[in-house]
Amino acid sequence: MARVAIVTGGTRGIGEAISLALKDAGITVAANYAGNDEKAAAFSERTGIKAYKWDVGDFDACAAGVQQVEAELGPVDIVVNNAGITRDGTILKMSREMWEDVIRINLGGCFNMAHAVFPGMRTRKWGRIVNIGSINGQAGQYGQVNYAAAKSGIHGFTKALAQEGARFGVTVNAIAPGYIDTDMVAAVPADVLEKIVAKIPVGRLGQAHEIARAVAFLCAEEGGFVTGSTLSVNGGQHMY
């Protein structure tokens, strides 16, 4: 029987690429999304992957969403915590709401989803949790204290949860993408984007499928000896 995966934020951008990569690997995928019903329906029609709507920042909604997926598709073996938002601004212009929104969804969503699936994974002695961090969680970024804090928190969360899951066959890893050619990056002003690309040693933006390929590796049956790791996929922009 095929493994079952949930990919949060799984109908667009990097999330869509991850959903497709896992499907191509023979995994049954449930793609979570937050709000755009029309685009989610178009995604499902185009890919054949069922989309499920809930807010990953809502603890109870995540528990209910996982229960629905398990009732329809089977026990969840894999979770990719990809959902995230930005609310950029320097700290003097950042409201408490902008801070809390990003922490709630980007970091809180990882906790909420892991909390919902971890007991089943531990009982079945197999699981894969992959958390999508960011280069800006590793190096920081001007005007993104909320986003950088949330993504940095993901890397610490990954290392700690990996220690809890290891003896039960549950691996927990993170991927820290650099600047990827998605709608979010496309919204960056052209002159700013040009300066960003100039700092990337390989000389280009990354592609969503390059992140998806890394996720598929960490989720594979053969990935059981990799846990607590952060894989940087950033074209050499940040090395440490």
Active-site residue set: 147
Q: In 121-153, which positions are buried (b, 16+ CB within 10 angstroms) versus exposed (e)?
A: bbeeebbbbbbbbbbbbbeeeeebbbbbbbbbb
Q: Which of 126, 87, 97, 112 is nearest to 8 (CA)?
A: 112
Q: Which of 72, 92, 93 is nearest to 30 (CA)?
A: 72
For the record, the structure tokens of 61 come out as 């909604």
Task: Give yes or no for a contact between 6 and 66, defined as CB atoms under 8 angstroms apart.
Answer: yes
For the record, the structure tokens of 192 come out as 């700013």
Q: In 90-112, which positions are buried (b, 16+ CB within 10 angstroms) versus exposed (e)?
A: eeeebeeebbebbbbbbbbbbbb
d(CA 116, CA 8): 13
